[in-house]
């Protein structure tokens, strides 16, 4: 064959293939670039929405109330769409255009979740006058987007007597139990702990010991203090700001402060609102007997947490102690057939395969029988593994239904994407926002992804890692205040060798900057931190202000921190390189009986209990 013939064949066969491959490769590159841009835009918009939710809830004393919370969530959704629309301005003209490609937005909260999606909002009336009635059409096509009703993290269990009881779970170790155990319908709520760890209860002094026998800490009344900047009226008729340090306690889910003259006030809209109710004043005065001077109000919330959890946990063990995973009622809407007596696993009617109903298999372990291995305060307990599996199942079922049935003007077939186990762990362990975006064309395929942003600064839940310990130096410049994570090595070493002393233990929200709006002009705003210290009267400069900073070691170098599970359990602490599983010799860095470690553990367990007890709860134990 002549060379000219080969050239012709090359042009006729190879060149078109090259052109097609080049076009395909170019389209793939464009699709990847577009998907990367969409991923970035979705994450950034979700982050902006969570930040808006944080700002609204941390500065709103009513943020835990349902109606106020819904407003905060709706404001967060508006922020999400506005942010997404801005970043994708080349694609859509208005935020409403993007709603067609957002099949669901998930908000996981303390004891349940909201899903923002489409719903049929078509209704009409029939009849006239007194016979007029509202007629709802569920089969219409006028879909609008909005929040669906709140859904609790709940599971049903079948008892040995055949009765069905319901347990509502939360993001920590609180549960609510509903049902008839054979002696009448019961509703009880409370925190779960290992009741064997509570001893030496003194109801008069409000003290008790908590922990494994021989490794306990004393829980007693404590003095709480915050720095406030307040708006005050001046003698000339104007207003200004004063700053000072005030002792406080939680009273009916709200903080009440003790003023310098001994009176009490609420801190509302940056101003002092006097407490005049004689019953409240009498209750506050009663707490003074626990103080060393007899004149300072004291918090007994940590004691109440352990005492009530002790009583509630004993009741739960009595009523639910024999329940295992097999007692869980399978509410799978596709196939309710079970295998033997195990209501957890079921047979898929299409494939014939055995499907695990829950993502975590706790086997025959008794979920509500508490001991050192199954301590509800620890994240690796059987109770917590089961709790996370229940939370995941309730969310997974709802999301799958909502996204599959999503109705828009697009022809895209919506389906729930596969969420990794790591992402499920983030969702089920935190107050979070999850956004789903699907159906946008990116070359030869459609975009389908999700974004998760967790909210660690909130009034919903206190996680074990959301507690900081405040210290001051005992030598040199004792006015330097730092806050540490409870597992910080520098903290433990400083307390051990006496160079640091603990001056307070507070939640993450106490270390966020607060803003006082004096006028409409933002330049007049005054900023302060709850854990700073100092006094300013009449707007004078606080030259003696004690500022507070974060510990560089425990915030930046996470590998030097010890696990909070070890601190809660009271295990001796071992440096990361010395752990046997890492090839180390197992040498102990801080023994659990050392004074420094015990002081840190006592402060931490007291604060964790106090903050959980003081959180607003929609459910509470009527019997207590």
My answer on whether 439 and 520 are in the same domain is: no
Among the candidates 454, 470, 486, a domain finishes at: 454
- Is there a domain that residue 102 lies in? yes
Give the pLDDT score at 274. Answer: 94
427 inside domain: yes
Share of the chain above pLDDT 70, in %: 79
**Residue ending a domain, choose from 436, 454, 472:** 454
CA distances, 106 to each of 103, 125, 224, 397, 468 (Å): 10, 33, 36, 13, 29
Per residue in 320-352, pLDDT (tens digit) is: 999 999 889 876 544 444 433 444 555 555 565
Query: What is the average per-residue pLDDT within 3-20?
Result: 67
Q: How many degrees, rounded to 5, is the angle at CA 72 between CA 555 and CA 517?
A: 75
Q: What is the mean pLDDT of residues 532-544?
A: 63
pLDDT over threshold 60, residue 308: yes
Which H/E stretch holds residue 609? helix 595-614
Q: Do 492 and 600 form a contact (C-beta atoms < 8 A)?
A: yes
- Angle between the 595-614 and 489-497 helix axes, to the nearest 10 degrees? 120
pLDDT at residue 135 tops 50: yes
> For residue 241, is pLDDT > 90?
no
Query: pLDDT by residue (tens digit) across 155-179?
Result: 999 998 889 999 999 999 999 999 9
- Is pLDDT at 622 greater than 50 in this prediction? no
Of 457, 467, 456, 430, residue with least CA distance to 605: 467
Average pLDDT of the chain, as a whole number:
83
Lowest mean pLDDT among 38-47, 491-500, 519-528: 519-528
Q: How far is CA 373 from CA 359, 376, 384, in A?
A: 21, 9, 11
pLDDT at residue 524, rounded to an integer: 80
pLDDT at 341: 43
Q: How many CA atoms lie within 13 A of 182 on its CB side?
A: 7
Within a 10 A sphere around the Cβ of 462, how many other Cβ atoms?
24
More confident residue, 307 or 350: 307
> Quick one: CA dihedral 282, 286, 287, 289, positive or negative?
positive
Domain co-membership, 553 together with 472: yes
**Would 401 be classed as within a structural domain?**
yes
Q: Residue 376: which residues within 8 A CB-CB, separation 6 or more?
A: 173, 191, 192, 193, 194, 313, 370, 383, 384
* Residue 587: band (very low, low, confident or very high) from pLDDT cuts 50, 70, 90: confident
In which band, very low, low, confident or very high, does the pLDDT at 358 lie, cut at 50, 70 and 90?
A: confident
pLDDT score of 38 more than 80: yes
Q: Of 42-51, 333-342, 513-522, 524-533, give the lowest mean pLDDT range.
A: 333-342
pTM of the predicted structure, to 2 decimals: 0.86
Q: Are residues 552 and 475 in the same domain?
A: yes
Task: Give the span between the Cα atoms of 343 and 86, in whole angstroms.
Answer: 49
Shared domain check, 499 and 588:
yes
Does residue 468 sit in the same domain as residue 610? yes
Mean pLDDT of 175-204: 93
Asked if residue 500 and residue 420 are part of one domain, the reply reads no
Least confident of 297-301, 452-456, 578-582: 578-582
How large a percentage of the chain has pLDDT more than 90? 45
User: Of 418, 434, 454, which closes a domain?
Assistant: 454
Rounded average pLDDT over 239-244 = 84
Q: pLDDT tens across 61-94, in order?
A: 554 555 678 888 999 999 999 898 888 766 555 5
Evaluate whether residue 97 is within a structural domain. Answer: yes
pLDDT of residue 288: 96
Are 578 and 584 contacting, i.e. CB atoms less than 8 angstroms apart? yes
Is residue 20 over pLDDT 80? no
Mean pLDDT over 443-470 rounds to: 86
Q: How confident is the model at residue 445 (pLDDT cuts 50, 70, 90)?
A: confident
How many Cα atoms sit within 13 Å of 456 on the Cβ side?
A: 10
Q: Is the pLDDT reported for residue 97 higher than 60?
A: yes
Strand pairing report for 481-484 and 548-550:
parallel
Residue 291 lies in a domain: no
- Tell whether the model's pLDDT for residue 102 goes beyond 80: yes
Domain annotation covers residue 55? yes
Residue tagged 């999503």 (tokens): 406
- Burial readout 487-511 (b: 16 or more C-beta within 10 A, e: otherwise): bbbbbbebbbeeebebbbbbbbbbb
- 381-438 pLDDT tens trace: 999 999 999 999 999 999 998 898 886 656 678 888 899 999 999 999 999 999 999 8
Helices H, strands E: what count in the chain? 12, 28
- Distances from the Cα of 244 to the Cα of 229, 323, 529, angstroms: 7, 53, 11
Enclosing domain of residue 46: 3-123+134-151+376-454
| Predicted local distance difference test score (pLDDT) of residue 4 | 66
Tokens (6 digits) for 204 = 């008069």
CA dihedral 82, 87, 89, 91 (to 10 degrees): -110
505 and 606 part of one domain: yes
What are the pLDDT digits (tens) for 359-372? 888 888 999 999 99
Residue 216 lies in a domain: no
Could you tell me the pLDDT band of residue 289, with boundaries at 50, 70 and 90?
very high
In this prediction, residue 571 carries a pLDDT of 92
Tokens 């004691």, located at residue: 303
Q: Does 337 map to a domain?
A: yes
Same domain, 528 and 478: yes
DSSP class of residue 138? T
Task: Specify the number of domains making up the chain.
Answer: 3
**Residue 18 confidence (pLDDT):** 66
């Amino acid at each position: 064959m002549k060379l000219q013939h080969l050239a012709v064949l090359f042009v006729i066969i190879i060149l078109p293939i090259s052109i097609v491959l080049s076009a395909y490769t170019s389209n793939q590159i464009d699709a990847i670039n577009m998907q990367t841009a969409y991923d970035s835009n979705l994450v950034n918009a979700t982050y902006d929405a969570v930040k808006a939710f944080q700002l609204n809830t941390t500065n709103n004393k009513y943020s835990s109330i349902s109606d106020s919370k819904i407003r905060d969530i709706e404001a967060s959704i508006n922020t999400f769409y506005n942010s997404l629309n801005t970043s994708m301005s080349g694609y859509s003209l208005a935020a409403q255009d993007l709603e067609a490609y957002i099949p669901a937005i998930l908000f996981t909260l303390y004891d349940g979740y909201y899903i923002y999606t489409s719903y049929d909002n078509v209704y009409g009336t029939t009849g006239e006058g007194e016979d007029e009635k509202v007629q709802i059409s569920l089969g219409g096509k006028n879909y609008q987007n909005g929040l669906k009703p709140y859904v609790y993290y709940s599971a049903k269990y079948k008892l040995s007597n055949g009765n069905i009881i319901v347990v509502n779970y939360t993001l920590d170790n609180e549960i609510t139990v509903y049902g008839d155990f054979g002696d009448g319908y019961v509703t009880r709520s409370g925190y779960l702990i290992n009741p064997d760890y509570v001893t030496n209860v003194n109801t008069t002094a409000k003290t008790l010991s908590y922990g494994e026998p021989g490794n306990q800490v004393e829980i007693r009344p404590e003095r709480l203090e915050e720095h406030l900047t307040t708006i005050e009226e001046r003698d000339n008729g104007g207003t200004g700001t004063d700053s000072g340090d005030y002792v406080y306690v939680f009273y009916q889910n709200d903080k009440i402060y003790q003023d310098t003259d001994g009176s009490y006030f609420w801190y509302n809209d940056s101003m002092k609102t006097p407490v005049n109710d004689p019953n409240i004043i009498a209750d506050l005065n009663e707490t003074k007997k626990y103080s060393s001077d007899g004149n300072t109000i004291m918090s007994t919330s940590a004691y109440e947490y352990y005492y009530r959890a002790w009583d509630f946990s004993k009741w739960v063990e009595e009523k639910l102690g024999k329940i295992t995973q097999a007692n869980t009622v399978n509410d799978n809407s596709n196939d309710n057939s079970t295998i033997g007596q195990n209501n957890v696993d079921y047979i898929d009617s299409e494939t014939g395969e055995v499907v695990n109903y829950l993502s975590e298999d706790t086997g025959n372990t008794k979920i509500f029988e508490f001991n050192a291995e199954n301590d509800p305060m620890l994240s690796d307990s059987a109770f917590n593994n089961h709790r996370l599996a229940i939370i995941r199942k309730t969310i997974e079922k709802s999301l799958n239904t909502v996204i599959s049935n999503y109705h828009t003007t697009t022809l895209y077939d919506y389906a729930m994407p596969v969420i990794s186990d790591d992402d499920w762990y983030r969702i089920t362990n935190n107050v979070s926002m999850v956004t789903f975006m699907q159906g946008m064309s990116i070359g030869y395929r459609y975009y389908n992804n999700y974004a998760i942003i967790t909210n660690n600064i909130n009034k919903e839940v206190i996680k074990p890692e959301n507690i900081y310990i405040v210290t001051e130096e005992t030598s040199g410049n004792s006015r330097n205040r730092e806050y540490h994570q409870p597992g910080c090595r520098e903290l433990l070493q400083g307390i051990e060798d006496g160079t640091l002393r603990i001056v307070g233990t507070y939640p993450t929200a106490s270390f966020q900057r607060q803003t006082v709006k004096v006028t409409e002009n933002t330049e007049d705003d005054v900023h302060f931190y709850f854990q700073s210290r100092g006094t300013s009267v009449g707007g004078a400069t606080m030259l003696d202000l004690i500022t507070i900073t974060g510990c560089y070691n425990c915030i930046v170098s996470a590998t030097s921190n010890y696990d909070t599970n070890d601190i809660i359990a009271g295990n001796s602490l071992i440096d990361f390189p010395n752990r046997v599983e890492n090839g180390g010799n197992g040498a102990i860095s801080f023994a659990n009986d050392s004074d420094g470690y015990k002081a840190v553990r006592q402060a931490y367990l007291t604060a964790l209990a106090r903050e959980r007890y003081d959180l607003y709860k929609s459910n509470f134990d009527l019997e207590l």
